[in-house]
Chain A
Amino acid sequence: MKGLLYKDFILLRKQLTTYLVFLIVYGGFCVAGVFPLSILVALVAVLGLTVPLSSVATDDATRWDRYAVSTPISRRGIVAGKYLFAVLIILLSGAIVLALMLALIGTGLADGSMGEALLALPSCAFLTLLLNAVTLPFLLKYGAEKARAVSMVLFVSIFGGSILVGGLVNRGLELPALPHWLSLSGPVLLAALCVAAYLVSFAISLEIYNRKEF
């Protein structure tokens, strides 16, 4: 599996410039005051979803899996490699975004609350894990093209929905208050739900992959 992760990261290196441009452009917008600093958090979701997707797309294009399955690594190892890669990308992009936010707040280039950023970042990371839990089985079953559509719909629904609800709340919409225990344990429950969904998703993907023919 180590070799598969190495391959995915080597191939990712070739796209680093694109992702770097992403960070610079969004960072610039935050400095210019066009977007709030918290928008950077969404980059974790963007990277956490698009990088695993493009990794599978690259494998599809070269039909790499046909070779990988003929080697001693098991099908389980191949699927586990993709799931682990997605987790590592979320962690890595989370770390980069955090560093960028700290740098912008620390240097006074952008306004924002450190506490809010520290709360939003793990929430977004776990949410991205949940989104990957939904898209990865599609990705392995139908390939990158179809999974891209699923991924886009999910992304737009969740993040668009959040922005919409946020906007409505700002205009005076009153949401029902959460029970006290839920607001306290909410983040932990969300994290647990995301991790559980990811594990279930892995089991589903493994079943899909075991049935595949190359």
Chain B
Amino acid sequence: MNNALEISHLTKDYGSFKLDDVSFTVPGGTIMGLIGENGAGKSTTIKCILNLIHRDGGTITVFGRDTLREERAVKADIGVVLDEVLFHDLLQPRQLGKILSSLYPNWDNGIFEHYREKFGLTGNKTVKEFSRGMKMKLAIAAAFAARPRLLLLDEATSGLDPVVRDEILDEFLAFIQDEDHAILVSSHITSDLEKAADYITYLHKGRVALSGAKDELLDSYGKLVCGRAELERVDKALLGGCRMSQFGCEALVKDRRAFARRYPALTVDSVTLEDIMVLTGKGDAQ
């Protein structure tokens, strides 16, 4: 299986924030979910892939091609949906299609029309008249019409209602049926990623806190719910972070099987991506 995206030792220093030595790989035929709290570096990573900002170090390749040396060829293979819709308010979707068809060498107007129809974006309405959800759908339709091999989605589903999100997730799943396609999606809505992603990379304060196959992460991590006294007896090296309240404690367990062998009396529940994010963040705050 070829890697669609390889990020190696990516660094970008803003002074007040640093994306620090970020490395991860997105294999072909998969969806990688990029999660992390606000300001963790998700959008910065995507901007670096697209050369929207100048990185300070590291390399990025898309299907084996360097994004700096072969920028235009790489971008011809990438469909983009950014965290805000950047199309002019006065344009109609049909006009937008005409504009983008000359920017993307592989543009397929048939695909664009298909998604316009499917997402209810036909007619002569301008972008200004669309809701945020409709604008996002337009951006997704444009991204598909570019016939990309890699889709980069930065909070692309955040403005959509659950029904539409589900519909769009199905489209993403259909897209990666081709082993030559892949998706990198950053999202706060971790439930979507639990549904669709094959791999997860969790960015925390500009660094990769964890990265791996989603099922393996959800299988190996666990959530310990116990009292304060019990928590104090636990070896902290086995925990990823915890939060305490007047009702008890919740702690992230890094290896639930090893933990169960060592503390058979304590119960470790299964964990969600949100638990991993929240507990890691809380642990850091404490």
- Rounded to whole Å, the gap between the CB of A68 and the closest CB of chain B is 7
- Determine the distance from Cα of A10 to Cα of B93 in the docked complex, in whole angstroms: 13
Cβ contacts under 8 Å, B98 to chain A: 3, 6
Stretch binding the partner chain, chosen from A58-66, A83-91, A114-122: A58-66
Can you name the residue of chain B whose Cβ is closest to the Cβ of A74?
A: B72
A72→B86 contact, CB < 8 A? no
Q: Given A213-B52, A214-B52, answer yes or no on A71-B103 (Cβ-Cβ < 8 Å).
A: yes
Tell me the count of chain A residues lying within 8 A, CB to CB, of chain B.
Answer: 26
Enumerate A138-158 residues with CB–CB distance to B below 8 Å.
none
> A3-B103, A6-B102 in contact; A70/B91 too (CB < 8 A)?
no
Query: B74-82, B189-197, B239-247: which one contacts chain A?
Result: B74-82
A67→B95 CA distance, assembly (Å): 16
- B residues within 8 A CB of A72? 72-73, 75-76, 103-105
Asked whether B104 lies within 8 Å of A70 as measured between CB atoms, the reply is: no
Contact assessment for B52 and A69 in the assembled complex, using a CB-CB cutoff below 8 Å: yes
> Does B89 reach chain A (CB closer than 8 Å)?
yes
- The yes or no answer to A14 lying at the interface (CB within 8 A) is yes
Any B CB within 8 A of the CB of A11: yes
**Given A63-B84, A64-B86 in contact, is the A70-B75 Cβ separation under 8 Å?**
yes
In the complex, how many angstroms separate the beta carbon of B62 from the nearest chain A beta carbon? 12
Q: A71-B100, A74-B72 are in contact. Are A58 and B47 (CB under 8 A)?
A: no
Specify which chain B residues have a CB less than 8 angstroms from the CB of A211 in the assembled complex. 54
Once bound together, how far apart are the Cα atoms of A7 and B89, in whole Å?
12
A-B contact count (CB 8 A): 79
Does B88 contact A73, Cβ atoms closer than 8 Å?
Answer: no
- Nearest Cβ distance between residue B177 and chain A, in whole angstroms? 25
Q: Specify which chain A residues have a CB less than 8 angstroms from the CB of B71 in the assembled complex.
A: 74
Shortest C-beta distance, A58 to chain B (Å), equals 6
A104: interface (CB < 8 Å): no
Give chain A residues whose Cβ lies under 8 Å from the Cβ of B47: 213-214
Given contacts A3-B102, A63-B86, A71-B75, contact A10 B95 (CB under 8 A): yes
Would you call A11 and B80 a contact (CB within 8 A)? no
Which residue of chain B lies nearest to A214 when distances are taken between CB atoms in the complex? Answer: B52
CA gap between A58 and B87 in the complex, in Å: 10
Q: Are A70 and B80 in contact (CB under 8 A)?
A: yes
Q: Which residues of A contact B102 (CB under 8 A)?
A: 1-4, 6
CB distance from B186 to the nearest CB of A (A): 14
> Which of A11, A70, A71, A74 is within 8 Å of B88, CB to CB?
A11
Chain A 1-33 interface 0/1 with B at a Cβ cutoff of 8 Å (1 = within): 111101100110010000000000000000000
B51 contacts partner chain A, Cβ-Cβ < 8 Å: yes
The yes or no answer to B90 lying at the interface (CB within 8 A) is yes
Chain B, Cβ-Cβ closest to A2: B102
Q: Which residue from B52, B73, B84, B105 sits with its C-beta under 8 Å from A70?
A: B52
Q: Is the CB of A67 within 8 A of B87?
A: yes
C-alpha spacing A15/B115, complex, angstroms: 31
A74 to B72, CA, bound (A): 7
Confirm or deny: B50 has a beta carbon within 8 angstroms of a beta carbon on chain A. Answer: yes
Is B260 interfacial (CB-CB < 8 Å)?
no
Q: Are A66 and B82 neighbours in the complex by a CB distance under 8 Å?
A: yes
Question: What residues of chain B lie closer than 8 Å to A1, measured between beta carbons?
Answer: 102
Query: What separation, in Å, do the CA atoms of A2 and B102 have in the docked complex?
Result: 6
7 shortest A-B CB distances, which residue pairs? A3-B102, A67-B86, A72-B75, A213-B53, A214-B52, A3-B99, A70-B50
Q: Which residues of B contact A (CB under 8 A)?
A: 47, 50-54, 71-73, 75-76, 78, 80, 82, 84, 86-91, 95, 98-105
Contacts A/B (CB < 8 Å), 7 sampled: A6-B98, A6-B102, A7-B88, A64-B88, A67-B87, A71-B80, A72-B75
Beyond A72-B76, A213-B53, list 15 extra A-B contacts (CB 8 Å): A6-B98, A11-B88, A11-B90, A58-B88, A62-B87, A66-B82, A69-B51, A69-B52, A71-B80, A71-B104, A72-B72, A72-B105, A74-B71, A74-B72, A214-B52
